[in-house]
Chain A
């Protein structure tokens, strides 16, 4: 009897959902929208892969790679913030969130330069199907980075008030989960649109 209780207790603990169930429903819905978008991209590309390959070469892959690094680093800082909350290191939480925010801001800056170059060259949603997808996908993702940063900013102000600790990190984990989604989507988007051919 005792043995079975001790062996199930950690299992239950592992099965705990970090963050709120509602944010996970939201995350799944967001990912579904992107999944449909990615599928549409694949479908359109299959019809005219030569054209897609041709215009893909005009994209700035260095900017994309830097942005990938920025988002992964940002996610790493957010993980550190959650870990800090679990060991009740109240000062480290807002610091790491702020660093995560900084990475997000860096992403936006790089992206704005990339857009400026493309829009400056007269490229628009109506140029061709490849650019339509490139602009739509990256812009929707861009908006999600902004939303993720708004969420991080809210968490940052809460963390500065000392709102999070080992027993109370539901909000922090919910925001972190959303930020990881923004990261994950980019990790799919970048190879799909910038690299794969």
Chain B
């Protein structure tokens, strides 16, 4: 690697992968609970498993973003990280806080956890995705600020490239919008209204900037295309993201008690949200086609192309599917949402973090790319996980369409649980796709330990 301090990215990447495994295991438990209602009850109730599954996802992606930033920023700014020690200290704080939170979720009932952690001081708990106890939320802010301080200082003392600037805007936005996690008004409409400022403006706003920036960085490194060209694309993507994504928040304001005009605003702007994702797909393929060199790390390029395609499908197409208010009237909160959520998170954020790891990890371990054998194994992992996710999405979509029909659209609508029973077949198929995903993930981890004997001998 070019700068010694880039090495701090390594523990972040390792922790990210470790927590990813946890997320998938809890996903499998959850998937089983859809069809075997009392599976692991009372040890791991459904609501707890769901909380662990989604919270682990967010936490490991944050580890991935931070690791990616620590790796990328010194190289972009062409200077050592301002404080590698601070970065390592924050790593341990975040890891311990994250682990303690998960243990808390699993060890005691949620209400007890709330009592123990001072939720009565500032009531922030009990809201989807923002379930973290107060100390964890404060910890996230502290870690985020120290992290931002570290990388911003690095950029300020070094070169300021467009890619680094976009990443900084994305990461600062991430921290700023998390502050709405502390705002929990009694009025449930206002509560939901601002809750989305964290949830939506993360994944359909500032996180997309992080995604674009990482993608641009890896494409510059692996294709050798001029920085000018790549940066211009990045600007276009960022602008499109912000035009569509910010007011696109309105697609969450259809039925929560907000004024009716949100049905128009939300529909119109969010209908265009696929465009920046489509631009990213075109961007990734255009740059790889115009490549000026063959980078030895082929699998990193595969992840880059993969994230371009899957983010467009998952976030763009599957998002559009139910974003218009008249459609959402029927699909709101059904398995259609779950289908979209799975492929969007995998395609946009899981794959981009894995791309970053795939590109950076070999260099952090002292080589430009992994051995051919290791790369082939990682490509198997790529295809297994990606195809499994496609099937998870398709089965959930089928389940969702049936659910909408049976429970909402038909002349004789069935009660929720009766409809759930009737779509159990699709839940089973989703669960088996999940098992294939886990096999892909195991292969992915094994690829880190493969050594090519011939190459070693040579």
Contact = CB atoms under 8 A, between A and B. Distances in A.
Interface stretch (A33-41, A57-65, A69-77, A85-93): A33-41
A36 B244 CA distance: 12
B264 A132 contact: yes
A126 interface: yes
Contacts of A126: 259-261
A29 B264 contact: no
A32 interface: yes
A16 B376 CA distance: 46
B267 A40 contact: yes
A22 B236 contact: yes
A136 B232 contact: no
A29 B275 contact: yes
A133 B264 CA distance: 9
Contacts of B275: 29, 32
B145 to A, nearest CB: 31
B235 A33 contact: no
Contact of A26 (B239, B265, B269): B239
A36 B261 contact: no
Interface string B223-239: 00000000010011001
Q: Which of A20, A25, A40, A126 has the most CB of B within 10 A?
A: A25
Main secondary structure of the interface of B (DSSP, over half): helix
Contacts of B271: 36
Contact of B232 (A22, A30, A32, A33): A22
Contacts of B260: 126, 132
**Looking at chain B, what size class is its interface with the partner chain?**
10 to 19
Q: Which of B235, B236, B267 has the most CB of A within 10 A?
A: B236
A30 B232 CA distance: 17
B199 to A, nearest CB: 23
B458 to A, nearest CB: 47
A21 B286 CA distance: 15
Contacts of A109: none
A136 B265 contact: yes
A66 to B, nearest CB: 28
A125 interface: yes
Contacts of B235: 22
A21 B244 CA distance: 20
A22 to B, nearest CB: 5
B268 A37 contact: yes
Contacts of B77: none
B239 A40 contact: no
B209 to A, nearest CB: 16
Contacts of B264: 40, 44, 132-133, 136
Given A36-B268, A136-B261, 5 more contacts: A21-B232, A26-B236, A29-B239, A29-B275, A133-B264
Interface of B: 232, 235-236, 239-240, 243-244, 259-261, 264-265, 267-269, 271-272, 275, 279
Interface of A: 20-22, 25-26, 29-30, 32-33, 36-37, 40, 44, 125-126, 132-133, 136
Chain A to chain B: the 7 pairs with minimum beta-carbon distance, closest first: A125-B261, A132-B261, A25-B236, A126-B259, A22-B232, A36-B268, A29-B240
15 contacts: A20-B232, A25-B279, A26-B236, A26-B239, A29-B239, A29-B240, A29-B243, A32-B272, A33-B268, A33-B269, A36-B268, A37-B268, A40-B264, A132-B260, A132-B264
